[in-house]
Every structure is written in structure tokens, then in C-alpha cells.
Amino acid sequence: MEDLSAKYLSRIADARDEAALEEIRLAAVGKKGEVSLKMRELGKMTPEERQVAGPALNALKDEINSALAAKKAALGDAALDERLRSEWLDVTLPTRPRRQGTIHPVSQATEELTAIFAEMGFSVAEGPRIDTDWYNFDALNIPGHHPARAEMDTFYMARAEGDNRPPHVLRTHTSPVQIRTMETQGAPLRIICPGGVYRADYDQTHTPMFHQVEGLAIDKDISMANLKWVLEEFFAAFFEIDGIKTRFRASHFPFTEPSAEVDIQCSWVDGQLRIGEGDGWLEVLGSGMVHPNVLRAGGIDPDQWQGFAFGMGIDRIAMLKYGIPDLRAFFDSDLRWLRHYGFAALDQPNLHAGLSR
Ligand code: DAH
């Protein structure tokens, strides 16, 4: 037994890594290890022999096991020491400007518009990108048969056979966040909801994923006049052009009554988009007075409260402001494009220092 002890203890001491250690463990105290086999022989011994051999074998097994554990810990410590010695980083080194990332124009535009609406008392609300068709459609006064559902090119989530949860969609607009926020916060309310939305559409001005910002203001005596003022203030601040021309066109949305679409004055010169000049118009948002059915769906009494809402394409206004001709480039992840159109990471847009520099 002393031979066994000496043999295994010295092999353990010499082991170079955990794999070697495991081999030794199996050879000694594993199921078919030498010590285990010896223990099996106890059955064939006389009771007197067993009384001596039993405790001795147990002690040997304990000795080997604790030597294995101690060696394992020592190997772990040594490995950690080695990593600490070889892997180090001088955190005082300056960053390399060429490797610095840039802020994507969509993120930049989102930060900018958030800063502008915050000045006007709007806070940011968010909702899920995968939502039920109730939030995305029904609650917004778009019932199942309504043509607006077909027009939206909706992505429906696949459903397993027998799944009877309500159908889910990739939200086609940020309007469902209106309902969710009415439910959780009630009236009065003044929010914007920026975020990604999805529609099966693809050309120079449409991508299957794009961004909108929803606006919603609910109070006792809010009118279209408030809506117009808020939007005109917003456009002047965002495009940094005082008195920028906007055009309000009568329109129709199921969730507003009356409704208006808003265009921004612009022109195309040599393939370059210029805003605030020329005789072209680019539609940037839909808006109107919140339909009573929508307030009701959000748990707000339309006899007590009224409000305006709008939904604007963030990518659209970013294209206009920064002169980006093709929407698809936003989502190509082309580093050269990102370096050209991206913004400095540490410049936080705010109204007083200037939105974008
Ligand atoms: N949800 C509409 C869309 O995606 C945009 C919209 C229009 C939002 C009018 C509104 C609104 O809040 O009042 O086309």
C-alpha cells in the first residue's frame, strides 16, 4: 500500500496539466483504478484481514483524492498567474482615431429629435417590435377587413399548429406604442416613441426595416393648432432653418379624425437632395386628432380628453437633413459609408450647443 501511495503521489506531483491529472485519477481511484480494484478484493478477505486492510485502503484513497484536489488548485493558480502576466493592456494609451466608431445617422437623428421634443415637454416611450395584431391594428381602429391592413405589407409571425395565442406581427408602425402608453400612463400624456418598424417593401426610399417616431399629446383642450405649432417648431429646430416651409395636406388615417399629411419643401440638384428650397415636396409624416375609438381602446374617456398624434419617418428626415440619396445605404453596413455619414461619438446633440456639428 505504501508503494501505491508513493507511486501516485509522485505522479500527481509531476502532472503538468489537468488532463494528466485526470488520467492519474482514473488509474488510481476511478471505477477500474488500481485502488478501487484493491477495495473490491476486501470481500474475499477474512474479517480480521479486512479490519486492517479496509481502513488502510480508505485512507489511501482519501490521501490520493486530496493530493489530486490540491494539485488541481495549484495548476489553476499557476494558469491564472500566467494569464495575468501575459495578457495586459495599458488603459492609459490614447484611442486611435482611425479605429473609432461613428454614430449612425439614424441614431444621430433620433438623438436630435429626442432633444427637440424633450424641450417641448415630450418624454420617450417604448414598445415591443413584435406585437399582437390587436395593438398594431384593431386598437388603432383598423378592424380585420380594413384595406389599410393589406396596404401595410405586414410581416406576420409564423404560428405552430394548434397555437391559439393571438396572432403576432412585426409592428408596421410605432402607433401601437400610443395604445400601450395610454394603458400604462393614462391622461394627460405627452410622449414620443422612436423605434424600428417593418414592412415588406424594398426600393430607393423603402427598406423592410426602417424607423419611425410617433408623437402623442393628450389633454383637455388640445387642437390641430397645437399640432401644427409643435411640428413647425420641430422642423425649424431639426433642419436648423427658421421658417422652413411645410405643407399640410388633408388626408385619411383610421386612427385620426381629421387627418393631415405633412410635406417638407425640397429640391433635387444633380442627384443631391436640398431641403428648404425648390419646388419639390417630400412627405415626412402623417398626423391628426386622435380618433375617439383609439382613446377608448387605450382606456381613456374620449368625452373627457382629446389629443393629436403624428408618425414620422426618422430615416426620411435623416436623408433630407444630411443629403443622403438612397435609403438602402443606411442598412448596408458599409464602413466607408458609415465613416462618411457617421457622427462623432462624443458629441451629444443638444439644442443650445447645436444639434449636429
Ligand atoms: N402610423 C402611420 C403610418 O405608419 C403614420 C401615422 C399617421 C401616425 C397619422 C400617426 C398619425 O400617429 O396620427 O403610416
Rg (CA), the chain: 35
Asked whether residue 92 is assigned to any structural domain, the reply reads no
Pocket test for ligand 1, best of 142, 149, 224, 287 (most atoms within 8 A of CB): 287
Report whether pLDDT(356) > 70. no
CB 332 within 8 A of CB 340: no
* Residue 175 CB less than 6 A away from ligand 1: yes
Residues 148, 212, single domain; the answer is yes
CA of 257 to the centre of ligand 1 (A): 12
In this prediction, residue 272 carries a pLDDT of 75
Cβ neighbours for 94, distance < 8 A, ≥ 6 positions apart: none
Report whether pLDDT(341) > 70. yes
In this prediction, residue 349 carries a pLDDT of 72
Q: Where residue 157 falls among pLDDT bands split at 50, 70, 90?
A: very high
Cβ neighbours for 119, distance < 8 A, ≥ 6 positions apart: 237, 351
Residues 11, 82, single domain; the answer is yes
In this prediction, residue 9 carries a pLDDT of 93
Q: Which among 286, 269, 345 is positioned nearest to 97, based on CA atoms?
A: 345
In this prediction, residue 320 carries a pLDDT of 86
Residues 195, 305, single domain; the answer is yes
Q: Which among 321, 323, 330 is positioned nearest to 273, based on CA atoms?
A: 323
Q: Where residue 352 falls among pLDDT bands split at 50, 70, 90?
A: low
**Domain assignment of residue 74, given as a range:** 2-86
CA of 309 to the centre of ligand 1 (A): 8
What span, in angstroms and rounded, lies between the C-alpha atoms of 178 and 176? 5
CB 349 within 8 A of CB 297: no
Query: Dihedral sign, CA of 251, 256, 257, 260?
Result: negative
Q: What is the dihedral of CA 106, 108, 109, 115, to 10 degrees?
A: 140
List of long-range contacts for 274-278, beta carbons under 8 Å, 24+ apart: 274/323, 275/239, 275/241, 275/244, 275/320, 275/321, 276/239, 276/241, 276/244, 276/245
Cell of 89: 493592456
In this prediction, residue 63 carries a pLDDT of 93
Asked whether residue 355 is assigned to any structural domain, the reply reads no
Question: Tens of pLDDT along 303-316?
Answer: 999 999 999 999 98
Count of domains for the chain: 2
In this prediction, residue 346 carries a pLDDT of 72
Pocket test for ligand 1, best of 173, 216, 218, 226 (most atoms within 8 A of CB): 173
CA of 206 to the centre of ligand 1 (A): 16
Report whether pLDDT(357) > 60. no
Q: How confident is the model over 142-152, as a mean pLDDT? A: 81
Cβ neighbours for 34, distance < 8 A, ≥ 6 positions apart: 4, 27, 28
Residues 139, 64, single domain; the answer is no
Tell me which range, 150-154, 195-199, 340-344, is most confidently predicted by mean pLDDT: 195-199
Asked whether residue 352 is assigned to any structural domain, the reply reads no
Any binding-site annotation on 257?
yes
What span, in angstroms and rounded, lies between the C-alpha atoms of 308 and 173? 17
In this prediction, residue 274 carries a pLDDT of 79
Mean pLDDT of the chain: 91
Residues 129, 263, single domain; the answer is yes
Q: Return the minimum-mean-pLDDT range out of 141-155, 156-170, 175-189, 252-266.
A: 141-155
CA of 174 to the centre of ligand 1 (A): 8
Q: Where residue 259 falls among pLDDT bands split at 50, 70, 90?
A: very high
Q: Return the minimum-mean-pLDDT range out of 120-134, 239-253, 269-283.
A: 269-283
In this prediction, residue 353 carries a pLDDT of 65
Question: Ligand 1: which residue has its CA nearest to atom 5?
Answer: 311
Residues 183, 300, single domain; the answer is yes
Terminal Cα-to-Cα distance of the chain (whole angstroms): 81
Pocket test for ligand 1, best of 310, 312, 314, 316 (most atoms within 8 A of CB): 310
CA of 291 to the centre of ligand 1 (A): 12
Q: Which among 6, 255, 262 is positioned nearest to 139, based on CA atoms?
A: 255
Q: How confident is the model over 31-48, as a mean pLDDT? A: 90
Q: Where residue 62 falls among pLDDT bands split at 50, 70, 90?
A: very high
Asked whether residue 287 is assigned to any structural domain, the reply reads yes
Asked whether residue 221 is assigned to any structural domain, the reply reads yes
Report whether pLDDT(7) > 80. yes
Residues 240, 151, single domain; the answer is yes
Whole-model pTM: value is: 0.71
| CATH number for 242 | 3.30.930.10
Asked whether residue 96 is assigned to any structural domain, the reply reads no
Q: Which among 326, 318, 325 is positioned nearest to 342, based on CA atoms?
A: 318
Residues 181, 302, single domain; the answer is yes
Element (H, E) at 258: strand 256-269
Choose the final residue of a domain: 86, 112, 132: 86
Asked whether residue 299 is assigned to any structural domain, the reply reads yes
Residues 79, 138, single domain; the answer is no
